[in-house]
Amino acid sequence: MPVTLVLTCVAMLAFAANSLLARAALAGGAIDAVSFTVIRLASGAGALVALMAWQRGGRVFRDRPGNFAAALCLLTYGFGFSLAYLRLGAATGALILFASVQACMIAWGVLRGQRPGAVEFAGLIVAFSAFVYLLLPGLHTPDGLGSLLMMGAGIAWGAYSLRGRGGTDPLGETAGNFARATLICLPLAALSVARGHASNLGVVLALTSGVVTSGLGYAIWYRVLPRLKPVVAASVQLTVPLIATVGGLIVLQETLSVRLVVAGVFILGGVGLTIVSHRR
């Protein structure tokens, strides 16, 4: 159990660090969003393929794991994520992202006939109301376009996660999807070389996001995921916005608004209540 706990914590720190790295790279203009995303995907694919080669020798991609539909979801998430962080702080972005991911997956369950009980429904109402409150016009309302982009990224990540449920080779499928997403965005890579901009710092931040917090982070998460009960796996991801908030305050010197704190507490609380009550 201690090993599982440590690996779970490392994975959640990696997910939160993705938000911090993206915001640090993009808000300061160290790199453009397209270049950041392309480098992140390509380096993440390289790290995952290298990990597979180390584990499996010459059997890398022999079975051609992954698929282009999942790769498109991954690509949509990656670009929405990067473009949103041109406009949102790390804490706000992480909160909107993970609330959208959970909302997408819960909504899919409802559409498939998994009707919420009274407690689940109450949790959904609380979370949705808090989300509306966060986005209501006011002095501290998050940027509208940035919020929409991050919601789109969250929905895409939720769809990617749903497509991967029940997979027998999570590491191989993730590596295959990253590789396919990199192939799809090659024309954008040429565009980023021609018109984009990337400082040394921006490239380092993008590589760190791709290799460490995405590639290795996902590999660790998929290793530990089978050891966790579904309710634990879903609930523990709600810590990511909290970690990103603390990191944003310490590393990026971001400030918190009362609106964000109140909305965050009720969004995470409502979603957590829904997940726990749906543990069966």
Closest CA to 217 of 182, 243, 192, 190: 243
Instruction: Specify the range with the lowest mean pLDDT, choosing from 77-91, 142-156, 186-200, 248-262.
Output: 186-200
pLDDT at 203: 93
Average pLDDT of the chain to the nearest whole number: 84
- Specify the higher pLDDT residue, 252 or 238: 252
Percent of the chain with pLDDT over 90: 29
pLDDT of the residue at 55: 76
Q: Are 93 and 33 in contact (CB under 8 A)?
A: no
**Range 88-104 average pLDDT:** 87
Domain that holds residue 136: 2-277
Sorting pLDDT into bands at 50, 70 and 90, what band is 59?
low
Residues 6 or more apart whose CB falls under 8 angstroms from that of 262 comprise 130, 133
Would you state the pLDDT for residue 63?
Answer: 66
Q: What's the rounded Cα separation, in Å, for the pair 112 and 107?
A: 9
The alpha carbon dihedral of 60, 62, 66, 67 has a sign of positive
**Rounded mean pLDDT, 240-255:** 87
- Asked whether residue 82 carries a pLDDT value surpassing 90, the answer given is yes
Q: Is residue 61 predicted with pLDDT exceeding 70?
A: no
Confidence at residue 253, expressed as pLDDT on a 0 to 100 scale:
87
Closest alpha carbon to 146 in 257, 229, 26: 26
Condensed to tens digits (0 to 9), the pLDDT of residues 148-180 reads: 999 999 999 888 888 766 666 777 888 888 999
Asked if the model's pLDDT at residue 1 lies above 60, the reply is no
Q: How confident is the model at residue 38 (pLDDT cuts 50, 70, 90)?
A: very high
Query: What is the number of structural domains in the chain?
Result: 1
pTM: 0.85
- Across the range 109-129, mean pLDDT stands at 77
| pLDDT top residue among 203 and 60 | 203
* pLDDT for 228 beyond 70: yes
